[in-house]
């Protein structure tokens, strides 16, 4: 990959705020970006030739069809008359580049990985597909995906290349085999994977309780939410903490943060100094599982959690049956409608509680990239996929961005979820949260915001004024004062407060073969311990994990880690 100037994602942007406005007139001063495309990098113009000019935004003379599949994540909705097949992105892509998307299939997050595995096994591969790290390795071994080194060299727009390399090349390395690039990393900021604890504060107020800072505080609140009728309806129908059947991975009711509170880090490789170890088999996990069993036995956890997926738990939370949940910064998107229906329904994010008041809990951070876009060896126009990515980044975040059209519309539709390929600048959400908060707090003027940030600001202000619909409340809870993005940045920006995944290369051969089975066994054994309380089963699990391939994988990880020093 040719080298260009790498753009650092400078958080000093947040210091632009200097004047007072609060939630008043957003204005249209000179500080707001003009979204009308001008002639330049971001404008798509007819090249007059098909595939010869290497214009990153060039239009084909004849229609080009790209087949794809789609993971329809939670909360994805379309305006009336639009659909996955016909929406603002598909129309713009055809208009500007003459590229048409042929969706082979779409499914929800729960079924997506399974359907991708079926596609791989049956060799029914679309032109472009989002895959996990293990699926990437499998497809590479099968010879199903294209070496895109030269395609990327030729067709990447400068801004796209800057974003893809903004982590110093770590994400690109994870998509590289034998020195050749075989996928486009869906780059992200590891900091975005940090969890928070969401707490229902109207219940706290009803019971005269304070927000939790320690594990003991959290446990006491869970008990109070279960036994003291926090909603005042006179019925024993509430639980302290949300769990779902897969325990972690969905981002909603995700126990990763709970484990982190006990200094346990399942799901990542942890640098212990002398060696790298799998976080899921460490003694601290056993302590966290013991605590969960105690809470389960005390009735603080729904006894049916083992058969409920994240969507079912969302229904319980929205119905007012649960008072705390660990999860991601965007979790309130799941329950925004409940806020609209009941304005007293209020949640606040806090940092992961610590075991003691003196030592903050450390958040585990996953590798910056866990998903990738692969291009089939049968794809006739691989450069079209790269051009699609150039367009998505430019119109969402670049110099000619139109975020109210291509990111989140004023009426709350997340159009950023529609493209077949999509990435974002890793730190842009944290920057936006700090700038939006500064304006709301009267520390800056609205004309310091770009169009995307201005949209978040206006939506947050509507929620502050009582209009919570169209995801306004959700945006406030992400980007506003005390919002989850600010909590995460304030608590976990410094290296001392996080535990990073120590392994970020492509999966090893043994990982691809055995880690999915080991992870499945880990989930089953964790769940059994929570339900039954047999802590000796954890020691047996650790022994079996090592015997069934874990020890071999650990050696491969340590060999790689040593080679990086």
User: What pLDDT score does 53 carry?
Assistant: 64
Q: Are strands 176-177 and 498-500 parallel, antiparallel or unpaired?
A: unpaired
User: What pLDDT score does 45 carry?
Assistant: 36
Helix (H, G, I), strand (E, B) or coil at 287: helix
| Burial class for 429, CB neighbours closer than 10 Å (0-12, 13-18, 19+) | buried
E-strand ranges in 331-378 read 347-350, 363-365, 371-375
Q: Is the pTM of this model over 0.85?
A: no
User: What pLDDT score does 44 carry?
Assistant: 34
Instruction: State the Cα–Cα distance between residues 353 and 66, nearest whole angstrom.
Output: 47
Measure Cα distances from 269 to 167, 266, 363, 540 in Å.
19, 8, 13, 20
Q: Give per-10-residue mean pLDDT for the chain (565 aa).
A: 31 29 42 29 36 82 98 87 97 98 93 95 98 92 97 98 89 92 94 97 98 98 99 98 95 97 97 95 98 99 96 96 98 96 98 94 89 98 98 94 90 92 93 97 95 93 97 97 98 93 87 94 98 98 98 96 83
User: What pLDDT score does 530 carry?
Assistant: 98
Contact 101, 63 (CB under 8 A): no
Contact 186, 392 (CB under 8 A): no
User: What pLDDT score does 1 carry?
Assistant: 40
Instruction: State the Cα–Cα distance between residues 129 and 137, nearest whole angstrom.
Output: 14
């Amino acid at each position: 990959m040719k080298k260009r100037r790498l753009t650092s994602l400078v958080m000093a942007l947040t210091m632009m705020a200097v004047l007072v406005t609060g939630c008043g007139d957003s204005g249209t001063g000179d500080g707001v970006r003009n979204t009308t495309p001008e002639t330049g990098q971001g404008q798509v113009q007819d090249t007059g030739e098909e595939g010869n000019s290497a214009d990153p935004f060039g239009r084909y003379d004849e229609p080009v069809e790209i087949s794809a599949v789609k993971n329809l994540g939670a909360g994805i909705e379309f305006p009336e008359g639009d659909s996955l097949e016909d929406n603002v992105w598909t129309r713009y892509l055809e208009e500007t580049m003459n590229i048409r998307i042929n969706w082979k299939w779409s499914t929800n997050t729960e079924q997506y990985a399974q359907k991708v595995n079926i596609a791989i096994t049956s060799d029914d591969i679309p032109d472009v597909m989002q895959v996990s790290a293990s699926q990437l390795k499998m497809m590479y071994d099968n010879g199903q995906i294209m070496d895109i080194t030269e395609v990327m060299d030729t067709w990447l727009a400068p801004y796209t290349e800057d974003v893809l390399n903004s982590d110093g090349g770590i994400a690109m390395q994870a998509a590289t085999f034998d020195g050749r690039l075989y996928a486009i990393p869906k780059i992200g900021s590891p900091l975005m994977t940090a969890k928070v604890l969401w707490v229902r504060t109207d219940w706290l107020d009803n019971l005269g309780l304070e927000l939790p800072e320690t594990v003991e505080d959290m446990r006491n609140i869970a008990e109070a939410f279960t036994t003291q009728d926090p909603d005042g309806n006179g019925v024993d129908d509430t639980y302290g903490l949300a769990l779902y059947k897969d325990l972690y991975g969905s981002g909603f009711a995700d126990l990763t943060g709970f484990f982190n509170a006990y200094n346990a880090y399942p799901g990542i490789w942890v640098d212990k100094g002398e060696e790298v170890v799998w976080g899921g088999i460490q003694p601290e996990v056993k302590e966290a599982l013991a605590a969960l069993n105690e809470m389960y036995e005390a009735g603080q956890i729904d006894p049916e959690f083992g058969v409920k997926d994240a969507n079912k738990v969302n229904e319980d939370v929205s119905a007012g049956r649960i008072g705390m949940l660990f999860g991601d910064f965007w979790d309130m998107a799941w329950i925004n409608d409940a806020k609209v229906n009941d304005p007293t329904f209020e949640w606040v994010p806090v940092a992961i509680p610590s075991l003691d008041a003196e030592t903050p809990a450390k958040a585990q951070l996953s590798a910056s990239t866990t998903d990738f876009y692969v291009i089939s060896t049968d794809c006739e126009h691989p450069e079209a996929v790269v051009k699609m990515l150039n367009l998505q980044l430019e119109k969402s975040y670049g110099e000619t961005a139109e975020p109210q059209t291509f990111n989140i519309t004023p009426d709350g539709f997340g159009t950023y979820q529609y493209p077949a390929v999509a990435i974002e600048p890793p730190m842009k959400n944290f920057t936006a949260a700090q700038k939006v908060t500064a304006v709301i707090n009267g520390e800056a003027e609205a004309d310091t915001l770009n169009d995307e940030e201005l949209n978040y600001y206006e939506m947050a202000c509507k929620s502050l004024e009582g209009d919570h619909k169209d995801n306004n409340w959700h945006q406030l809870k992400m980007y506003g004062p005390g919002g989850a993005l600010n909590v995460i940045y304030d608590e976990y920006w410094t290296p001392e407060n996080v535990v990073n995944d120590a392994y970020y290369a492509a999966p090893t051969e043994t990982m691809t073969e055995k880690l999915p089975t080991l992870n499945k066994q880990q989930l089953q054994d964790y769940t059994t311990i929570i339900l039954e309380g047999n802590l000796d089963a954890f020691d047996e699990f650790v022994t079996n994990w090592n015997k069934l391939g874990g020890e071999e994988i650990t050696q491969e990880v340590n060999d790689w880690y040593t080679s990086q020093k």
